A and B are shown apart, each in its own frame.
Chain A
Amino acid sequence: MAAGGSGGNSGRTYSFKVVLLGEGCVGKTSLVLRYCENKFNDKHITTLQASFLTKKLNITGKRVNLAIWDTAGQERFHALGPIYYRDSNGAILVYDITDEDSFQKVKNWVKELRKMLGNEICLCIVGNKIDLDKDRHVSVEEAESYAESVGAKHYHTSAKLNKGIEELFLDLCKRMMETAQAEERLKGNGASQSASGRRGVQIVDDEPQATPAGGCCSSG
């Protein structure tokens, strides 16, 4: 739950980690690819393809670096979730609106995330594949009221039609910035920079009064 801010000074950059959770076929890979590359189906994406993506943003004059961590949706990897989402600033929980089961999985993750990370993590519950609305199995009301009940925000997206994705990430970023700023205020004017760091290297960073006289040897 590192505030993710590097440094506390004027030209600051926020660095946020966002985990992507969701069952196998809900389309989380397509969703994130759409966002980062705006390409639904591309052969050459990044070195780690869609599993790890980064995006640089500029929101109200503040620079934001987003690192999006995809996680494996399979049941057998679930026990390893915690090592993925520790220190996350945000989580995107994706379900397929045509698949009731995938929505149940989202509920499990929400419980887990709240248990492990408390309220500092910004949760987004995303109903994907709204292009298939005729086959909808998860009702909008149910999903939205559930999201509200757990302090999460609900979004409707379609990776295929590129709908709602930009809004989802922008909104998440703003919320994460607010959380980080609130946390900073709590800490008190960023006086304690390295609160969560395992290694708090603190360098006294004041200007040197006088650089060592450049050589008394040559002066006479």
Chain B
Amino acid sequence: MVAVEEERMLRLAEQCLERAKSFMGKSTAPLDVSISSSSSPGQSRPHQTAVLPSTSPKKSGHRRVLSDGGGEPSPFLPPEIFQKLQTVESQDTSKRELTPIEQASRLNQKLKANYEARLARLTPGQAYQKTSLTLSLQRQMMENLIIAKARQDALQRKMEERRLRLQEEANRRFAASGAMTAEDQEQRSLYTNVLEYEQDHDWPKLWKAKIKENPDNVTLVPHLVSYLLSQSDHPLVKLLKKHQASRSSHNLLHLVLFICLCEKSVDHTETQRKPTRTVSSSGQSFSTDSSLSHDLHVNYDEDDVEDVEEANPQVTVDRENSFEDLEQFLTQLDWAPPHISTDDTTSDLETKCDHLMLDESHVQELEMRALKEHLKAVVKDIHIALDQLLSLCLLSFECLNTASSKDLCLASIEEAFFMPLWSALLALFRKVNREREQAFEASMKLYRDASPEDVGVTSKLFPQEPCLQGSYPYESAVQELKLILKDCCPQRKLECIVRTLRQICVCAEEYRCLHESNSTPTTAAIGADDLLPILSFVALRSQCPQLVSECAALEEFIHEGYLIGEEGYCLTSMQSALAYVESLHTGGTHLPAQTLI
């Protein structure tokens, strides 16, 4: 009796094992059921759940399971199904985390391996135990799958609800700011994107935790921001790219505006029945512009503009706007009294192109005014863009919202922002500051071989006897200053100016010691009275008129926190020295200080 019972149990166990094996190799058809909805044909899961609880160690239950048999969904999902699953849930492709069904399958595979190992250890006489093991394996695997399916469904629902919830969260976050402006709205939607991104990616959480653990470690902040900026699908990076694209199109717009202005002013003069000028003559007047406009044409050839416009409809829109602006601008001018400037900058310009008629210099004046307006708008846009980027960054990582971290954060963002833009931006600044650069160049030529004494450096602060061959006083500072052209971000350029001034102080100290070696030390350290003449000398020797525009641009983009500190002081001193150099060729009679204020 017992033997018969044992035999039966053994057979049962064998059947179970067989079935389990057959599941493994089974076709994918019944498996899809487990992924798709429960309304699939054949064995719907609710039915099975009804059956399974009864398959507890009761013998009667065993039979029922057996008789029930057939194509239940396999507890294991073959790899190809996994792939299918993952592609179906495309929103999870970037996610490292496994879906509940995947997790369940992994778990089931482990269970199976475990089961097989235990089965192998069993002696043939333990058939009953074998059966119960098999059954409990089946039950566990089934349960795992069912739970996984339920979780998967719940997850799906949650994903749908998530966007809504995040939207609300963003709304709450911004509710404090009172009335909604368009910018707030934009910021809000950007923040929603960030929240969404953070749900799909783990690294922001990890970084936040890291910073929380080491609040005093300032080196973490630049690392975080540079990591953030390397994540091309992060909303912040997308925003950055968007701003950069619009900035470069802005610069193209500038050129377009420039060209229209030529044509427009021709029309303008004709309708006024003034001496007519041909388009070619106006073209000539612009081609006589200094080398600066050539720079610009190298960067943005007219053909290039056409190409880009064809490729990018955005620019065309801008162009239309520029026409409107221009129209408005010109109508204003119609009512303005004839604009004949008496300041010496104009006379300077006139002597340079005295073959041109008065209204041509008038056109140039118009051009300059338009350029200045444009530059102002560009600068403002850049500030707005940077503000937006910074606040989004701080919203994304609240841990960065401390005074010191914020500065570091902004520095990193600025660097990424300006890197591709600086050369185009500088071209614009150079165009606007053309006259100042020309003045600088004139002084530079006049004072090519000047000694420090010629620009007012006290004799104590440079060596009297000629230096080593080919070198001159303060050469190391001049070399340092020249490096400013190589950097592409305001912050770095500013640091370069600071280094230059420090180097000047080092040199001055050295030279003074040379003088005082034979006498008792008398004077105190170097103050502004000494510094400015030396700095002027260094600027002269650097032979880069471009410095004028570089500093003008830095002035616009210097970080507010630096205005009052060493950086601000150095930039201010540099500006003063440059202005002094500009005035040198006129005998120092007038300083263009007004242009700096």
Contacts and interface: CB of A to CB of B under 8 A. Distances in A.
Interface residues of B, number: 66
Nearest to A201: B387
Interface string B150-172: 11001100100010001001001
A82 interface: yes
Nearest to A43: B509
24 contacts: A24-B529, A29-B525, A29-B526, A33-B524, A43-B521, A45-B525, A48-B501, A49-B525, A50-B526, A51-B505, A51-B569, A52-B569, A69-B572, A72-B529, A79-B591, A80-B596, A83-B593, A83-B596, A202-B391, A204-B174, A206-B176, A210-B169, A216-B162, A217-B155
A28 interface: yes
Interface string B198-241: 11000001000000000000000000000000000000000000
Nearest to B521: A41
Nearest to A31: B524
A141 interface: no
Interface in B512-558: 521, 524-533
Given A24-B529, A84-B572, A50 B524 contact: yes
A67 B591 CA distance: 27
Interface in A42-62: 42-43, 45, 47-52, 54
Contact of B527 (A4, A15, A49, A201): A49
A17 interface: yes
A126 to B, nearest CB: 15
Contacts of A86: 597
B566 A48 contact: yes
A73 B154 contact: no
Interface residues of A, number: 60
B564 A15 contact: yes
A96 interface: no
A124 B590 CA distance: 29
Given A7-B403, A199-B386, A204-B174, A67 B565 contact: yes
A74 B529 contact: yes
Contacts of A72: 528-529, 531-533, 576
Contacts of B590: 79
Contacts of A4: 564
A62 B137 CA distance: 72
B579 interface: yes
Contacts of A212: 166, 169, 195, 198-199
Nearest to B455: A76
A201 B597 contact: no
A64 B382 CA distance: 32
Q: Which 6 residue pairs across A and B have the least CB separation, nearest first?
A: A29-B527, A79-B591, A70-B528, A49-B525, A80-B576, A49-B526
B81 interface: no
Contacts of B563: 87
B569 A48 contact: yes
Given A24-B529, A28-B527, A77-B576, A83 B158 contact: no
